Amino acid sequence: MTPPDGPDATEISDVVPPDAPGLVLLVWDAPNVDMGLGSILGGRPTAVYRPRFDALGRWLLGYAAELSVSTNDTLEAEATVFTNIVPGTSDNVRPWVEALRNVGFAVFAKPKTSEDSDVDDDMLEHIDRRAESGRLAGVVVASADGQAFREPLEELADEVPVTVIGFREHATWAVQHDTIRFLDLEEIPGVFREPLPRVSLENLPDEGAWLQPLRPLTALLNSR
């Protein structure tokens, strides 16, 4: 899962030799996963509840090995985290980005300048480029709900195995899907140091529980 080098990594990595092995691609939607995790925790995730990307990487390598056996082909794994960088926070985010790169993940970082400057389209474009290369042998999308990727992933699922990693509370469509596999993030061994304090409408305690908002109320001021 070594990320491509150079100033224009996307162009360089799109140049594929004819004998290149098949590719199992993972894309991680950091803003959406953080939102879903925050709603489960009832606030901003602390270090204890931050996902461990080394564990995720080991899972991906194992999954690629399984697909290699089932397809009788040699497959490589590639993992990329897509994230927004709020202006003025780069010093805080840099250690996390460098840690990801040291694990073997590529990182696509985009300034968060407005409500519309998210990374959904960039993730879909990346998946499309890999599909157009003819190498794509499997796709894994990590997103709390994955709803923004539903239609493109349903189309891809006709060609290659597609997995959505997220939280079952938010990704009901994927949990119940016939052709897309769903994997709850907490089911990946070692991803979380401690069990998540999960409360849903299906497992409410007798005394009741608070379900925190998924976004601040002030977000309504920017959506008129």
Listed by start position, the domains of the chain span 21-222
Identify which has the larger pLDDT, 146 or 151: 151
How high is the pLDDT of residue 37? 92
CB 142 within 8 A of CB 81: no
Query: Tokens 């195995």 correspond to what residue?
Result: 161
How high is the pLDDT of residue 174? 93
How high is the pLDDT of residue 23? 96
The helix/strand/coil state of 80 is strand
How high is the pLDDT of residue 215? 63
This prediction has a pTM of 0.83
How far is C-alpha 92 from the chain's CA centre? 21
Identify which has the larger pLDDT, 45 or 152: 152
Tell me the sheet residues that pair with 85: 111
How high is the pLDDT of residue 6? 40
Mean per-residue pLDDT for 6-31? 71
pLDDT digits (tens, 9 = 90+) for 93-137: 999 999 999 999 999 999 988 877 789 999 999 999 999 999 999
CATH number assigned to the domain covering 21-222: 3.40.50.1010
213 sits in the region (left: phi over 0; alpha: psi -120 to 50; else beta) called beta
Query: Tokens 């080394």 correspond to what residue?
Result: 54
Mean pLDDT over all residues of the chain? 87
